[in-house]
Chains A and B, each alone.
Chain A
Amino acid sequence: MPTKTDTKPEGSTPTREAEPLSIIGKPLMKVDAMAKVVGETMFADDLALPRMLFCKIKRSPHPHARIVKVDTSKAEALPGVVAVLVGAELPIPFGILPVSQDEHALSIDKARFVGDPVAAVAAVDEETAEAALEHIDVDYEVLQSIMTIEEALAKDSEPIHTGELHRGEGSVNGNVHKAVSLEFGDLEEGFAEADVVREDTFFFQGNTHLPMEQHSALASCGADGKMTLWSSTQTPHYVHRAMAKVLEMPPSMVRVIACPNGGGFGGKSDPFNHEIVVAKLAQKTRRPVKVTLTREEVFYCHRGRHPVKMWVKSGIKKDGSITAMHFRSFLDGGAFGSYGIASLYYTGALQTVTYKIPRYKFEGLRVFTNKPPCGPKRGHGTVQPRFAIECHLDKLAEQIKKSPLDVRLDKVIEPFSITANQLRVRTVGLKECLERVAERSEFRNKHGKLPKGRGIGLASSSYLTGAGLPIYWNKLPHSGVQLQLDRGGGVTAFCGSTDIGQGSDSVLAYVVAEELGVEVQDVHVVTADTHLTPVDLGSYSSRVTLMTGNAAIEAARRLKPLLLDQAAEKLQVPVERLAMAHRKIFDRDHPDVSMEFAEAVVLAEARHGTLGSTGSYTPPRSPGRYKGAGVGPSATYSFSACALELEVDPETGMVTIHKIWIAHDVGKSINPLLAIGQIEGSVYMGLGEVLMEEQVFRKGVHKIPSMLDYKSPTFVDMPPVESILIETLDPQGPYGAKECGQGPLLPVIPAVAIAVYDALGVRIDESPVTPDKIVSALEGRLRAVTVPEYDWPPPVDVPPMREESSS
């Protein structure tokens, strides 16, 4: 069974022995491709119900202000306005993490950023709702705003939160949401052993997800009191929990349906205030209520990449081995907790999961500021430190006069090993990734040898294939799949997983079709509906292919014997010789001895009654037992390496990327076309982050909340990409598969900064690497990144590891 933990590579049989795969590994079309292409897909905003009302949300114009009074009387009196809602009507706080339930659907006491919702209107049309907002009078007492990490640490103004709604050790001290300290091994001893010890500082600017689809939600409350919410969410299960809590309804009375998402990238993974607002308005008015955010409001929803200042100190020997690493990160969290505690730990978690780092220390803190809350964006919390580590390593390599390729190759972590911070690693394809991109890009011939203005950069990275732990503590499966067979030979697969464009519906269909030997179009996928589908935790942390895939395999393999038994009897062939593919059950030795899959279903149903089964998946337990060990573990890790060649105009600082070579250890590609799509999408997003994207503020307000002014590459800016899939057949993954939706983003960002150095000899240690910074650096006027002083807490106790890692 693929759900068992293997600690050794031997004996792992991720696929049926010698059975050729008929669907897995083939470049098939996505199951929803046609509907998307012709415009039939129903996104949340496409939905309309009879008597539906439209909701608009009034937002704070101040970054930090006490709400003194909200007067809605004028708005309520307007013709066409059906209901107005204020914060006091939804007093129960919520948030994605149990330790930071610090959000209200509508602010009650204070507004904490420009865009923080304070009231909402439901009206007969959008224009009326919009106009009504102008008639809601809010009295504010403006407070001093806190817009930077330094201001947050200064403690000279009213803190943004009191800490009442935050739990957990070290939580909320002034504006410090949390400070953590972890130490593994004797760092000083490590630095003493090193030939070179080097410190560097970096800054990674905040940026946002920019999904094509703006968030939208529609709520309807039936005469039976049951609530249904359709929403563009990546995490219907977590939204379901938050809705039940805030609306004080039994969870069984609430149904959340995630519509197909027009992109998410982490920006639709929190339960959102607008979802709860429309639900409450639907209750209040007994009419369906819909809200669709404007693009500007999506910038305020945010939950995007944290701006992070970083400091790193490493010791390295002349031979290139690292003796110790000390890493500090300072996260600018914005106004609420969101996933922030997890983001914080992630900025220190995966440093060790690429190269051997025997001793490691991490200190990090997250502060609150009066800006839209930051949270998870593709590569959650690991993108910023990866930028720092790879650039830092490039400098170290130069200092010890070793090729940056060899420095990396020499210290790639061992497969099936445990890192200094107690993460269990399984297959590791990183060496091959590095070798392949180096070979394809001719890195050795080019690095340091290209004409001035032209440069090549190389970087590598790793990422989780699904978080090892759920967001709230429980011992339940992370993903469940239920199958139902129909007499016509169709299979319906029910699963809570949510397709955000990454293709999870397709993967579910491919796996079920492969296992039961039917065609992909025979599988009807019903997903992301909390009434109809077993729980899947959601589309985040690159977890779905591995977890849903394994759950689907388990469900299918429970059904299979019922069908095979009937076939064996009918065909008079021993069960062991039977195989299933392309709607047939046949004798492996005499393939013409066969019967239709549908016929076997009919026979089995006659024998056993209605046919169905369930399967579920829980990732293996991680060996770490220290406080904070919950963030970082994964069933297995993916690896990526990227090389890219670019040209920088030394006069203008304009960067032109000529070509990108990227290799990704995907374990096994369930569908190479989808895997490459994810890689190319990651490259695109990475280039946007490193070259232009920045979520910046001026006078307390988002400076550029529009798709014209928030610069993100257009497709003419996209260079050619050569994607290389490396398959390491991981024992944890379905058919050996690992993630590919987030990891490939990581190495692209540092590779650009490193290539700019190769081209012009200037280090840009902060993102984005913009033309004006390059020109300033060439003139010697780019200031180094500074990090604040902080009195760190002592490191937490690290108890011995768990002996047995199986769950």
Chain B
Amino acid sequence: MMRLPPFRYLAPKSAQEAAKMLADHAADEAMPVAGGTDLYPNMKRRQFTPRVLVGLSRVENSRGVSGSSNDGITIGGMTTLTRVEQNELLQTHYPAITTAAALVSAPVLRNMGTLGGNLCIDTRCNYYNQSYEWRKSINFCMKKDGEICWVAPSSKRCWAVSSSDTAPVFIALDAECTLVGPDGERRVPVKSLYEHDGIDFLKKKREEILTEIHVPKVNGRRATYLKLRRRDSIDFPILGVAAAIETAKDGTVEKARIVLTAVESAPVEADKAEAVLVGKKLTEDAIEEAASIAYRPAKPLDNTDLTNAYRKKMARVYVARALRELMRAEP
């Protein structure tokens, strides 16, 4: 890996100021950086060579967790994953969030990496997460500097993999986030942040800063997150399953969310499987039925660890396991 290319570092005090700084520069010229744990390695490999970095670490009021389980909570975009993981309010009422945060990479990276950064990380592909020289030797690819997609050569789009561990959990919890632009802010569901395109995978404007994540009140919703990876640390997910349900007093499922990550360029919601669960009790049969269709929207390709056939098969296993966990956690 090469060293970091030279850049100018700006340190705005507010998100709006940051957004303005970004808007003042052309698209390739400037990027925001939070913990840098995703961006800096990519810059070293020349996936990005911004001349200006707008650092978010000085942005005021952008860290911490506030609210309650009855009213819903707000997490600052610049909160580090370590802080998220150790937050007692989250641990008690939203354990799926702390589980997912704790499963991201390794402790040192979680000390620097932020939640906002985690929701915005670049998509991944092992034709792309390589040094400049390496990519040159395969004549680059569509996502950066090249023409075609090596994973799916006839494809018009890039299939790089959405790899955030926390995104599927926030989607399963129907969370929203605040995006701050140069002229004001807006609040959108986390789900609508993502696009099924490995290159333009974020639907927000490039100058918008993600400042807050809002999670609705718990309202009896139970959620969990399971991650598949080769090693028990450091590795990105090669499959992630977030599942959440709300049940009536008699145990009948009223709402269900099953969100898969790392099997597409955006987190995918298995809505057909969700529909199967609604109105039923969470029994072994219902779980099997849901799992047998939940894995279908997973489209793993040969661009990350282990074989795609295996990862697809595991989607079914992991969905069933996640639902079983929720079944066992029945109040």
- Which residues of A are interface residues toward B (Cβ below 8 A)? 59, 61-62, 114, 126-127, 130, 294-296, 651-653, 692, 699, 701-706, 708-709, 711, 713-714, 716-717, 770-772, 775-776
**Cβ A699 vs Cβ B131 within 8 A:** no
For the complex formed, measure the closest distance between the CB of A505 and the CB atoms of chain B, giving whole angstroms: 31
Q: Mostly helix, strand, loop or mixed at chain B's interface?
A: loop
Chain B residue nearest to A133 in the complex (CB): B133
**Cβ A699 vs Cβ B231 within 8 A:** no
For the complex formed, measure the closest distance between the CB of B294 and the CB atoms of chain A, giving whole angstroms: 15
**Residue among A295, A653, A702, A713 making CB contact with B231, cutoff 8 Å:** A713
**Cβ A714 vs Cβ B233 within 8 A:** yes
For the complex formed, measure the closest distance between the CB of B192 and the CB atoms of chain A, giving whole angstroms: 30
Q: In the complex, A717 Cα to B314 Cα: how many Å?
A: 21
**Cβ B232 vs Cβ A714 within 8 A:** yes
Q: In the complex, A716 Cα to B129 Cα: how many Å?
A: 25
**Residue among A296, A651, A704 making CB contact with B126, cutoff 8 Å:** A704
Assuming the A-B contacts A716-B232, A716-B233, A772-B310, are A703 and B126 also in contact, with contact meaning beta carbons closer than 8 angstroms in the complex?
A: yes
**Cβ B317 vs Cβ A714 within 8 A:** no
Add 6 more A-B contacts to A295-B1, A711-B231 (CB < 8 A): A59-B133, A653-B310, A705-B134, A706-B129, A714-B231, A771-B310
Say if the beta carbon of B200 comes within 8 Å of chain A: no
Chain B residue nearest to A709 in the complex (CB): B126
Q: In the complex, A130 Cα to B45 Cα: how many Å?
A: 13
**Cβ B313 vs Cβ A775 within 8 A:** yes
Contacting residues, chain A, for B231 (C-beta < 8 A): 692, 711, 713-714, 716-717
Chain B residue nearest to A294 in the complex (CB): B1
**27 A–B contacts, CB within 8 A, in A order:** A59-B133, A61-B133, A114-B137, A130-B2, A294-B1, A294-B131, A296-B131, A651-B317, A652-B314, A652-B317, A692-B230, A702-B134, A705-B130, A706-B1, A706-B129, A706-B130, A708-B235, A713-B231, A714-B106, A714-B232, A716-B233, A717-B232, A717-B233, A771-B230, A771-B306, A772-B306, A775-B313
Contacting residues, chain B, for A706 (C-beta < 8 A): 1, 129-130
**Cβ B150 vs Cβ A772 within 8 A:** no
Contacting residues, chain A, for B314 (C-beta < 8 A): 652
Say if the beta carbon of B219 comes within 8 Å of chain A: no
For the complex formed, measure the closest distance between the CB of A158 and the CB atoms of chain B, giving whole angstroms: 20
Q: In the complex, A701 Cα to B127 Cα: how many Å?
A: 10
Say if the beta carbon of B296 comes within 8 Å of chain A: no
Contacting residues, chain A, for B11 (C-beta < 8 A): none
Chain B residue nearest to A772 in the complex (CB): B310
**Cβ A699 vs Cβ B126 within 8 A:** no
CB-CB nearest 6 A-B residue pairs: A61-B137, A772-B310, A716-B232, A714-B233, A772-B307, A716-B233
Chain A residue nearest to B139 in the complex (CB): A61
For the complex formed, measure the closest distance between the CB of A673 and the CB atoms of chain B, giving whole angstroms: 27
Contacting residues, chain B, for A716 (C-beta < 8 A): 231-233
Map CB proximity to A onto B85-119 as digits: 1 under 8 Å, 0 otherwise: 00000000000000000000010000000000000
Map CB proximity to A onto B150-186 as digits: 1 under 8 Å, 0 otherwise: 1000000000000000000000000000000000000
Chain B residue nearest to A715 in the complex (CB): B233
**Cβ A709 vs Cβ B2 within 8 A:** no
Chain B residue nearest to A714 in the complex (CB): B233
Q: In the complex, A771 Cα to B318 Cα: how many Å?
A: 14
For the complex formed, measure the closest distance between the CB of A123 and the CB atoms of chain B, giving whole angstroms: 14
Chain A residue nearest to B306 in the complex (CB): A772
For the complex formed, measure the closest distance between the CB of B9 and the CB atoms of chain A, giving whole angstroms: 18
Contacting residues, chain B, for A770 (C-beta < 8 A): 306
Q: In the complex, A770 Cα to B307 Cα: how many Å?
A: 10
Q: In the complex, A484 Cα to B177 Cα: how many Å?
A: 73
For the complex formed, measure the closest distance between the CB of B284 and the CB atoms of chain A, giving whole angstroms: 15
Contacting residues, chain B, for A114 (C-beta < 8 A): 137
Q: In the complex, A699 Cα to B260 Cα: how many Å?
A: 30
Contacting residues, chain A, for B329 (C-beta < 8 A): none
For the complex formed, measure the closest distance between the CB of B37 and the CB atoms of chain A, giving whole angstroms: 12
Assuming the A-B contacts A699-B150, A771-B310, are A61 and B1 also in contact, with contact meaning beta carbons closer than 8 angstroms in the complex?
A: no
Say if the beta carbon of B8 comes within 8 Å of chain A: no
Q: In the complex, A776 Cα to B314 Cα: how many Å?
A: 12
Q: In the complex, A653 Cα to B234 Cα: how many Å?
A: 20
Chain B residue nearest to A56 in the complex (CB): B2
Q: In the complex, A772 Cα to B134 Cα: how many Å?
A: 27
For the complex formed, measure the closest distance between the CB of B240 and the CB atoms of chain A, giving whole angstroms: 14
**Cβ B129 vs Cβ A709 within 8 A:** yes
Assuming the A-B contacts A699-B138, A699-B150, A716-B233, are A711 and B317 also in contact, with contact meaning beta carbons closer than 8 angstroms in the complex?
A: no
Say if the beta carbon of B13 comes within 8 Å of chain A: no
Contacting residues, chain A, for B3 (C-beta < 8 A): 126-127
Assuming the A-B contacts A699-B150, A716-B232, are A294 and B2 also in contact, with contact meaning beta carbons closer than 8 angstroms in the complex?
A: yes
**Residue of A127, A706, A713, A717 with highest tally of chain B CB at under 10 A:** A706
**Cβ A296 vs Cβ B1 within 8 A:** yes
Q: In the complex, A725 Cα to B60 Cα: how many Å?
A: 59
Contacting residues, chain B, for A708 (C-beta < 8 A): 129, 234-235
Contacting residues, chain A, for B133 (C-beta < 8 A): 59, 61, 296
